[in-house]
Protein backbone atom coordinates (compact mmCIF):
# COMPACT_ATOMS: atom_id res chain seq x y z
CA UNK A 1 0.00 0.00 0.00
CA UNK A 2 3.02 2.27 -0.13
CA UNK A 3 1.80 3.76 -3.40
CA UNK A 4 -1.59 4.67 -1.96
CA UNK A 5 -2.44 8.33 -2.31
CA UNK A 6 -4.28 10.38 0.26
CA UNK A 7 -6.66 11.60 -2.43
CA UNK A 8 -8.33 10.09 -5.48
CA UNK A 9 -6.05 9.67 -8.49
CA UNK A 10 -7.57 9.37 -11.98
CA UNK A 11 -6.79 6.29 -14.05
CA UNK A 12 -3.67 6.38 -16.23
CA UNK A 13 -3.99 8.70 -19.21
CA UNK A 14 -6.51 11.15 -17.79
CA UNK A 15 -3.96 13.68 -16.57
CA UNK A 16 -2.12 13.43 -19.91
CA UNK A 17 -5.15 14.95 -21.64
CA UNK A 18 -4.87 18.55 -22.78
CA UNK A 19 -8.24 20.11 -22.04
CA UNK A 20 -10.19 21.01 -25.18
CA UNK A 21 -10.23 24.78 -25.59
CA UNK A 22 -13.27 25.94 -27.57
CA UNK A 23 -13.23 28.94 -29.91
CA UNK A 24 -13.52 32.21 -28.02
CA UNK A 25 -16.93 33.83 -28.05
CA UNK A 26 -16.15 37.34 -26.88
CA UNK A 27 -13.70 40.22 -26.95
CA UNK A 28 -13.18 43.04 -24.48
CA UNK A 29 -13.74 46.67 -25.36
CA UNK A 30 -15.81 46.19 -28.51
CA UNK A 31 -19.51 46.88 -28.72
CA UNK A 32 -20.40 44.30 -31.36
CA UNK A 33 -18.85 40.88 -31.70
CA UNK A 34 -18.82 38.74 -34.85
CA UNK A 35 -18.14 35.16 -33.82
CA UNK A 36 -16.38 33.32 -36.61
CA UNK A 37 -14.57 30.92 -34.30
CA UNK A 38 -16.80 27.86 -33.93
CA UNK A 39 -18.10 27.02 -37.43
CA UNK A 40 -21.66 27.85 -36.41
CA UNK A 41 -24.15 28.69 -39.14
CA UNK A 42 -24.70 32.43 -39.62
CA UNK A 43 -28.30 31.77 -40.67
CA UNK A 44 -29.33 30.13 -37.40
CA UNK A 45 -31.68 27.19 -37.08
CA UNK A 46 -34.88 26.64 -39.01
CA UNK A 47 -37.75 28.67 -37.46
CA UNK A 48 -39.67 25.39 -37.30
CA UNK A 49 -36.88 23.88 -35.19
CA UNK A 50 -37.04 26.80 -32.76
CA UNK A 51 -40.80 26.38 -32.47
CA UNK A 52 -40.45 22.64 -31.85
CA UNK A 53 -37.81 23.19 -29.15
CA UNK A 54 -39.99 25.83 -27.46
CA UNK A 55 -42.98 23.48 -27.44
CA UNK A 56 -40.85 20.68 -25.96
CA UNK A 57 -39.56 22.97 -23.21
CA UNK A 58 -43.08 23.00 -21.74
CA UNK A 59 -42.71 19.33 -20.78
CA UNK A 60 -39.19 19.04 -19.42
CA UNK A 61 -40.39 17.37 -16.23
CA UNK A 62 -40.64 14.16 -18.26
CA UNK A 63 -37.65 12.01 -19.17
CA UNK A 64 -36.90 11.97 -22.88
CA UNK A 65 -37.54 8.89 -25.02
CA UNK A 66 -34.37 6.90 -24.35
CA UNK A 67 -34.61 5.23 -27.75
CA UNK A 68 -34.95 8.59 -29.57
CA UNK A 69 -37.30 6.65 -31.84
CA UNK A 70 -39.01 9.45 -33.74
CA UNK A 71 -35.76 11.18 -34.60
CA UNK A 72 -34.07 7.94 -35.68
CA UNK A 73 -37.07 7.25 -37.92
CA UNK A 74 -36.92 10.77 -39.36
CA UNK A 75 -33.19 10.42 -40.06
CA UNK A 76 -33.83 7.01 -41.60
CA UNK A 77 -36.47 8.45 -43.94
CA UNK A 78 -34.39 11.49 -44.87
CA UNK A 79 -31.20 9.55 -45.66
CA UNK A 80 -32.65 6.18 -46.64
CA UNK A 81 -31.17 4.35 -43.62
CA UNK A 82 -32.41 1.62 -41.29
CA UNK A 83 -33.35 3.38 -38.00
CA UNK A 84 -32.21 0.28 -36.08
CA UNK A 85 -28.68 1.07 -37.19
CA UNK A 86 -28.76 4.67 -35.97
CA UNK A 87 -27.79 5.85 -32.50
CA UNK A 88 -28.21 9.44 -31.35
CA UNK A 89 -25.98 11.34 -28.97
CA UNK A 90 -25.56 14.59 -27.06
CA UNK A 91 -23.73 16.05 -30.03
CA UNK A 92 -21.57 13.83 -32.16
CA UNK A 93 -18.78 14.41 -29.60
CA UNK A 94 -20.77 12.10 -27.33
CA UNK A 95 -20.64 9.37 -29.96
CA UNK A 96 -16.96 9.93 -30.77
CA UNK A 97 -16.23 9.30 -27.07
CA UNK A 98 -18.53 6.27 -26.88
CA UNK A 99 -16.74 4.68 -29.82
CA UNK A 100 -13.40 4.92 -28.03
CA UNK A 101 -14.94 3.73 -24.76
CA UNK A 102 -16.33 0.67 -26.52
CA UNK A 103 -13.33 -0.27 -28.66
CA UNK A 104 -10.18 1.16 -27.08
CA UNK A 105 -8.52 0.18 -23.79
CA UNK A 106 -5.11 0.33 -22.12
CA UNK A 107 -2.39 -0.90 -24.49
CA UNK A 108 -4.50 -0.11 -27.56
CA UNK A 109 -3.83 2.56 -30.14
CA UNK A 110 -6.12 4.91 -32.00
CA UNK A 111 -5.07 6.85 -35.09
CA UNK A 112 -5.91 10.42 -35.95
CA UNK A 113 -4.29 12.76 -38.46
CA UNK A 114 -1.76 15.50 -37.85
CA UNK A 115 -4.32 18.30 -37.97
CA UNK A 116 -7.30 16.15 -37.02
CA UNK A 117 -10.11 17.11 -34.64
CA UNK A 118 -8.75 17.17 -31.09
CA UNK A 119 -11.79 15.43 -29.63
CA UNK A 120 -10.46 12.19 -31.21
CA UNK A 121 -7.23 12.42 -29.27
CA UNK A 122 -9.07 13.16 -26.03
CA UNK A 123 -11.50 10.28 -26.60
CA UNK A 124 -8.65 7.80 -27.18
CA UNK A 125 -6.77 9.00 -24.10
CA UNK A 126 -9.89 9.02 -21.93
CA UNK A 127 -10.46 5.39 -22.90
CA UNK A 128 -6.94 4.56 -21.73
CA UNK A 129 -5.48 4.15 -25.22
CA UNK A 130 -2.53 5.76 -26.95
CA UNK A 131 -3.16 8.31 -29.71
CA UNK A 132 -1.01 7.80 -32.81
CA UNK A 133 -0.70 10.75 -35.15
CA UNK A 134 -0.50 10.23 -38.94
CA UNK A 135 1.15 13.11 -40.83
CA UNK A 136 -0.91 14.93 -43.46
CA UNK A 137 0.12 16.00 -46.96
CA UNK A 138 -0.80 19.56 -47.98
CA UNK A 139 -3.06 19.81 -44.92
CA UNK A 140 -4.94 16.76 -46.20
CA UNK A 141 -5.43 13.30 -44.71
CA UNK A 142 -2.81 10.93 -46.14
CA UNK A 143 -4.12 7.38 -46.49
CA UNK A 144 -0.67 5.83 -46.82
CA UNK A 145 0.57 7.64 -43.72
CA UNK A 146 -2.37 6.20 -41.77
CA UNK A 147 -1.84 2.68 -43.11
CA UNK A 148 1.86 2.86 -42.25
CA UNK A 149 0.87 3.39 -38.60
CA UNK A 150 -1.58 0.53 -38.25
CA UNK A 151 -0.36 -2.20 -35.88
CA UNK A 152 -2.05 -5.13 -34.17
CA UNK A 153 -2.75 -2.70 -31.32
CA UNK A 154 -4.71 -0.30 -33.54
CA UNK A 155 -8.41 -0.37 -32.63
CA UNK A 156 -9.84 2.77 -34.19
CA UNK A 157 -9.09 5.32 -36.93
CA UNK A 158 -10.86 8.69 -36.84
CA UNK A 159 -11.15 10.80 -39.97
CA UNK A 160 -13.18 13.97 -40.35
CA UNK A 161 -14.22 14.36 -43.96
CA UNK A 162 -14.14 17.27 -44.65
CA UNK A 163 -11.61 17.83 -41.88
CA UNK A 164 -11.70 20.49 -39.20
CA UNK A 165 -9.65 22.74 -38.93
CA UNK A 166 -8.13 22.36 -42.41
CA UNK A 167 -11.35 22.25 -44.48
CA UNK A 168 -9.81 19.73 -46.88
CA UNK A 169 -11.54 16.51 -47.90
CA UNK A 170 -10.61 13.09 -49.22
CA UNK A 171 -12.31 11.72 -52.35
CA UNK A 172 -14.43 8.64 -51.67
CA UNK A 173 -12.00 6.48 -53.65
CA UNK A 174 -9.30 7.30 -51.12
CA UNK A 175 -11.59 6.47 -48.19
CA UNK A 176 -12.41 3.15 -49.86
CA UNK A 177 -8.71 2.49 -50.45
CA UNK A 178 -8.02 3.14 -46.76
CA UNK A 179 -10.81 0.84 -45.69
CA UNK A 180 -9.72 -1.93 -48.05
CA UNK A 181 -6.28 -2.06 -46.41
CA UNK A 182 -7.42 -1.78 -42.78
CA UNK A 183 -7.63 -5.01 -40.77
CA UNK A 184 -11.24 -6.01 -40.13
CA UNK A 185 -10.95 -5.48 -36.37
CA UNK A 186 -10.17 -1.76 -36.74
CA UNK A 187 -13.16 0.61 -36.46
CA UNK A 188 -13.03 3.29 -39.15
CA UNK A 189 -14.90 6.40 -38.01
CA UNK A 190 -15.96 8.79 -40.76
CA UNK A 191 -16.90 12.05 -39.05
CA UNK A 192 -19.26 13.87 -41.39
CA UNK A 193 -19.81 16.99 -39.27
CA UNK A 194 -19.40 19.07 -42.46
CA UNK A 195 -20.74 16.51 -44.95
CA UNK A 196 -23.65 18.74 -46.05
CA UNK A 197 -21.23 21.42 -47.23
CA UNK A 198 -19.06 19.14 -49.35
CA UNK A 199 -20.25 19.42 -52.93
CA UNK A 200 -17.45 17.84 -55.00
CA UNK A 201 -18.52 15.02 -57.31
CA UNK A 202 -15.86 12.70 -55.89
CA UNK A 203 -16.99 13.27 -52.28
CA UNK A 204 -19.19 10.89 -50.32
CA UNK A 205 -19.99 10.89 -46.62
CA UNK A 206 -19.48 7.12 -46.85
CA UNK A 207 -22.97 5.74 -46.23
CA UNK A 208 -22.53 2.84 -48.66
CA UNK A 209 -19.23 1.84 -47.02
CA UNK A 210 -21.04 1.64 -43.68
CA UNK A 211 -23.89 -0.37 -45.15
CA UNK A 212 -21.56 -2.95 -46.70
CA UNK A 213 -19.07 -3.47 -43.88
CA UNK A 214 -18.92 -4.36 -40.21
CA UNK A 215 -16.19 -1.93 -39.19
CA UNK A 216 -17.18 1.49 -40.58
CA UNK A 217 -19.23 4.10 -38.69
CA UNK A 218 -20.46 7.46 -39.91
CA UNK A 219 -21.12 10.30 -37.47
CA UNK A 220 -23.22 13.35 -38.26
CA UNK A 221 -24.32 16.41 -36.34
CA UNK A 222 -27.11 18.97 -36.10
CA UNK A 223 -24.61 21.49 -34.70
CA UNK A 224 -23.31 22.92 -37.93
CA UNK A 225 -25.52 23.54 -40.97
CA UNK A 226 -28.71 22.84 -38.96
CA UNK A 227 -27.77 25.44 -36.35
CA UNK A 228 -28.59 23.44 -33.21
CA UNK A 229 -25.15 23.47 -31.55
CA UNK A 230 -26.44 24.56 -28.14
CA UNK A 231 -28.95 21.72 -27.96
CA UNK A 232 -26.26 19.02 -28.38
CA UNK A 233 -27.61 16.56 -30.91
CA UNK A 234 -25.75 14.26 -33.28
CA UNK A 235 -26.04 10.72 -34.58
CA UNK A 236 -24.16 7.75 -35.94
CA UNK A 237 -25.02 5.22 -38.62
CA UNK A 238 -23.16 1.96 -38.23
CA UNK A 239 -23.10 -1.80 -38.49
CA UNK A 240 -25.43 -3.68 -36.12
CA UNK A 241 -22.54 -4.83 -33.91
CA UNK A 242 -21.13 -1.37 -33.32
CA UNK A 243 -24.57 0.20 -32.80
CA UNK A 244 -25.34 -2.52 -30.24
CA UNK A 245 -22.11 -1.71 -28.34
CA UNK A 246 -22.85 2.01 -28.32
CA UNK A 247 -26.38 1.40 -27.06
CA UNK A 248 -25.03 -0.66 -24.16
CA UNK A 249 -22.70 2.05 -22.88
CA UNK A 250 -24.41 5.32 -23.76
CA UNK A 251 -26.33 7.34 -21.23
CA UNK A 252 -29.88 5.95 -21.28
CA UNK A 253 -31.28 9.47 -21.78
CA UNK A 254 -28.36 11.10 -23.57
CA UNK A 255 -30.56 13.08 -25.95
CA UNK A 256 -32.96 15.65 -24.54
CA UNK A 257 -36.45 16.20 -25.90
CA UNK A 258 -36.08 19.83 -27.11
CA UNK A 259 -33.01 18.65 -29.06
CA UNK A 260 -34.67 15.68 -30.73
CA UNK A 261 -37.84 17.66 -31.53
CA UNK A 262 -35.81 20.51 -33.04
CA UNK A 263 -33.78 18.02 -35.06
CA UNK A 264 -36.92 16.38 -36.46
CA UNK A 265 -38.28 19.79 -37.48
CA UNK A 266 -34.91 20.75 -39.00
CA UNK A 267 -34.89 17.71 -41.24
CA UNK A 268 -38.32 18.66 -42.56
CA UNK A 269 -37.28 22.23 -43.45
CA UNK A 270 -35.40 21.56 -46.67
CA UNK A 271 -35.80 25.16 -47.84
CA UNK A 272 -33.86 26.46 -44.83
CA UNK A 273 -31.14 23.88 -45.41
CA UNK A 274 -30.92 24.89 -49.06
CA UNK A 275 -30.60 28.60 -48.27
CA UNK A 276 -27.94 27.90 -45.63
CA UNK A 277 -25.94 25.89 -48.14
CA UNK A 278 -26.34 28.54 -50.85
CA UNK A 279 -25.20 31.24 -48.44
CA UNK A 280 -22.19 29.16 -47.55
CA UNK A 281 -21.06 28.32 -51.06
CA UNK A 282 -21.42 31.93 -52.22
CA UNK A 283 -19.57 33.45 -49.29
CA UNK A 284 -16.96 30.72 -49.04
CA UNK A 285 -16.00 31.49 -52.62
CA UNK A 286 -16.09 35.24 -52.03
CA UNK A 287 -13.97 34.98 -48.89
CA UNK A 288 -11.46 32.67 -50.55
CA UNK A 289 -11.02 35.07 -53.47
CA UNK A 290 -10.95 38.21 -51.33
CA UNK A 291 -8.38 36.84 -48.88
CA UNK A 292 -6.17 35.58 -51.69
CA UNK A 293 -6.39 39.02 -53.27
CA UNK A 294 -4.89 40.38 -50.04
CA UNK A 295 -1.90 38.12 -50.59
CA UNK A 296 -2.93 35.55 -48.00
CA UNK A 297 -2.59 31.84 -48.59
CA UNK A 298 -5.93 30.09 -48.14
CA UNK A 299 -6.32 26.30 -48.03
CA UNK A 300 -9.16 25.27 -50.39
CA UNK A 301 -12.16 24.39 -48.21
CA UNK A 302 -15.00 21.93 -48.70
CA UNK A 303 -16.69 23.08 -45.48
CA UNK A 304 -18.02 26.30 -43.89
CA UNK A 305 -14.71 27.74 -42.78
CA UNK A 306 -11.31 28.63 -44.16
CA UNK A 307 -7.81 27.92 -42.97
CA UNK A 308 -5.86 31.13 -43.61
CA UNK A 309 -2.08 31.19 -43.36
CA UNK A 310 0.03 34.02 -41.94
CA UNK A 311 3.69 33.24 -42.62
CA UNK A 312 5.65 34.59 -39.65
CA UNK A 313 8.44 35.88 -41.91
CA UNK A 314 6.10 38.59 -43.25
CA UNK A 315 6.46 40.28 -39.88
CA UNK A 316 2.82 39.91 -38.90
CA UNK A 317 1.97 36.45 -37.74
CA UNK A 318 -1.26 34.63 -36.96
CA UNK A 319 -1.21 35.82 -33.36
CA UNK A 320 -0.93 39.45 -34.47
CA UNK A 321 -3.75 38.97 -37.00
CA UNK A 322 -5.90 37.30 -34.35
CA UNK A 323 -5.38 40.19 -31.92
CA UNK A 324 -5.97 42.80 -34.67
CA UNK A 325 -9.27 41.15 -35.61
CA UNK A 326 -10.40 40.67 -32.01
CA UNK A 327 -9.77 44.34 -31.21
CA UNK A 328 -12.31 45.14 -33.95
CA UNK A 329 -14.84 42.55 -32.77
CA UNK A 330 -14.03 39.78 -35.25
CA UNK A 331 -13.44 36.58 -33.32
CA UNK A 332 -11.62 33.83 -35.21
CA UNK A 333 -10.03 30.56 -34.14
CA UNK A 334 -6.36 30.22 -33.31
CA UNK A 335 -5.33 26.68 -34.24
CA UNK A 336 -1.86 26.31 -32.69
CA UNK A 337 -3.24 23.40 -30.62
CA UNK A 338 -3.88 21.65 -33.95
CA UNK A 339 -0.24 21.99 -34.97
CA UNK A 340 -1.04 25.10 -37.02
CA UNK A 341 0.62 28.02 -35.18
CA UNK A 342 0.84 30.10 -38.37
CA UNK A 343 -2.79 29.86 -39.39
CA UNK A 344 -6.24 30.99 -38.27
CA UNK A 345 -9.50 29.20 -38.89
CA UNK A 346 -12.28 31.53 -39.94
CA UNK A 347 -15.93 30.48 -40.23
CA UNK A 348 -18.15 31.82 -42.99
CA UNK A 349 -20.38 34.42 -41.34
CA UNK A 350 -23.17 36.79 -42.28
CA UNK A 351 -22.54 39.16 -45.17
CA UNK A 352 -21.80 41.92 -42.64
CA UNK A 353 -19.29 39.77 -40.75
CA UNK A 354 -17.60 38.53 -43.93
CA UNK A 355 -17.17 42.05 -45.31
CA UNK A 356 -15.86 43.34 -41.98
CA UNK A 357 -13.42 40.42 -41.80
CA UNK A 358 -11.96 41.15 -45.23
CA UNK A 359 -11.81 44.92 -44.64
CA UNK A 360 -10.05 44.37 -41.32
CA UNK A 361 -7.55 41.93 -42.77
CA UNK A 362 -6.93 44.37 -45.64
CA UNK A 363 -6.03 46.98 -43.04
CA UNK A 364 -3.83 44.43 -41.24
CA UNK A 365 -2.07 43.41 -44.43
CA UNK A 366 -1.65 47.07 -45.41
CA UNK A 367 0.25 47.64 -42.20
CA UNK A 368 2.44 44.67 -43.08
CA UNK A 369 3.34 46.18 -46.43
CA UNK A 370 4.00 49.71 -45.13
C1 LIG B 1 -18.17 20.54 -34.89
C2 LIG B 1 -17.62 19.18 -35.10
C3 LIG B 1 -18.29 18.06 -34.63
C4 LIG B 1 -19.66 18.18 -34.04
O5 LIG B 1 -19.66 18.22 -32.71
P6 LIG B 1 -21.05 18.16 -31.95
O7 LIG B 1 -20.68 17.45 -30.70
O8 LIG B 1 -22.00 17.36 -32.78
O9 LIG B 1 -21.49 19.55 -31.74
C10 LIG B 1 -17.76 16.81 -34.85
N11 LIG B 1 -16.60 16.68 -35.53
C12 LIG B 1 -15.95 17.73 -36.01
C13 LIG B 1 -14.73 17.51 -36.81
C14 LIG B 1 -16.43 19.01 -35.80
O15 LIG B 1 -15.76 20.06 -36.26
CA dist 293 and 304 (Å) reads: 20
pLDDT reading at 316 higher than 90: no
pLDDT band at residue 1 under the 50/70/90 scheme: low
pLDDT reading at 370 higher than 60: no
Q: Which atom of ligand 1 is nearest to the CA of 221?
A: 8
Mutation test of ligand 1: which of 20, 113, 123, 193 has the most ligand atoms closer than 8 Å to its C-beta?
193
What distance in angstroms lies between residue 233's CA and the mean position of ligand 1's atoms? 10
CA distances to 5, 99, 126, 165, 218 from 15, in Å: 15, 20, 9, 25, 29
CA dist 327 and 314 (Å) reads: 21
Q: Give per-residue pLDDT as tens, 12-40.
A: 889 999 988 887 777 777 889 999 999 99
The pTM of the full predicted model, rounded to 2 decimals, is 0.96
Q: Return the pLDDT at 282.
A: 98
The 8-class DSSP code of residue 6 comes to S
The separation between CA 86 and the C-alpha centre of its own chain, rounded to angstroms, equals: 19
Chosen CATH of 47-269 out of 3.40.640.10, 3.40.50.2000, 3.40.50.1000, 1.10.3720.10: 3.40.640.10
Q: Ligand 1 in contact with 109 (CB < 6 A)?
A: no
Going by CA atoms, what residue is nearest to atom 2 of ligand 1? 193
CA dist 67 and 300 (Å) reads: 40
Q: Return the pLDDT at 36.
A: 97
Consecutive H or E run containing 97: helix 91-103
Q: Ligand 1 in contact with 223 (CB < 6 A)?
A: yes
pLDDT reading at 349 higher than 50: yes
What distance in angstroms lies between residue 154's CA and the mean position of ligand 1's atoms? 23
CA dist 167 and 161 (Å) reads: 8
What distance in angstroms lies between residue 353's CA and the mean position of ligand 1's atoms? 22
> Where are the domains positioned within the chain?
14-44+271-364, 47-269
CATH architecture type of domain 14-44+271-364: Alpha-Beta Complex (3.90)
Q: Which atom of ligand 1 is nearest to the CA of 92?
A: 8
Mutation test of ligand 1: which of 164, 219, 263 has the most ligand atoms closer than 8 Å to its C-beta?
164
The 8-class DSSP code of residue 299 comes to E
Report the chain's terminal Cα–Cα distance, integer Å.
67
Q: Ligand 1 in contact with 23 (CB < 6 A)?
A: no
The 8-class DSSP code of residue 229 comes to G
What distance in angstroms lies between residue 92's CA and the mean position of ligand 1's atoms? 6
Which of 223, 273, 261, 263 has the alpha carbon at shortest distance from 54? 261
Going by CA atoms, what residue is nearest to atom 3 of ligand 1? 193
CA dist 135 and 37 (Å) reads: 25
Give the start-end residues of each E strand in the chain: 34-35, 86-89, 109-113, 130-134, 154-160, 187-191, 216-221, 234-237, 297-299, 305-309, 330-331, 333-335, 340-347
CA dist 104 and 129 (Å) reads: 6
What distance in angstroms lies between residue 243's CA and the mean position of ligand 1's atoms? 19
pLDDT reading at 68 higher than 90: yes
Q: Return the pLDDT at 20.
A: 87
Going by CA atoms, what residue is nearest to atom 12 of ligand 1? 193
Q: Output the average pLDDT for the chain.
A: 96
Amino acid sequence: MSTASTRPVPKPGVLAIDTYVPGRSGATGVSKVYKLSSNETPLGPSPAALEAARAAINHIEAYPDGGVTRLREAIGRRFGLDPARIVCGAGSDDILHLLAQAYVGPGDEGILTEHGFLVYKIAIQAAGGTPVIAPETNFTTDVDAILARVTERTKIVYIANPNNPTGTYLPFDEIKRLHASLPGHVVLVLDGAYAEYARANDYSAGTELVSENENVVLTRTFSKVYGLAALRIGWAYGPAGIIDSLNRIRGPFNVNTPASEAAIASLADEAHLASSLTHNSEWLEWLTGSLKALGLEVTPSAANFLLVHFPPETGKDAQAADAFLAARGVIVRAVAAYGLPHALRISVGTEEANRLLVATLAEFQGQVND
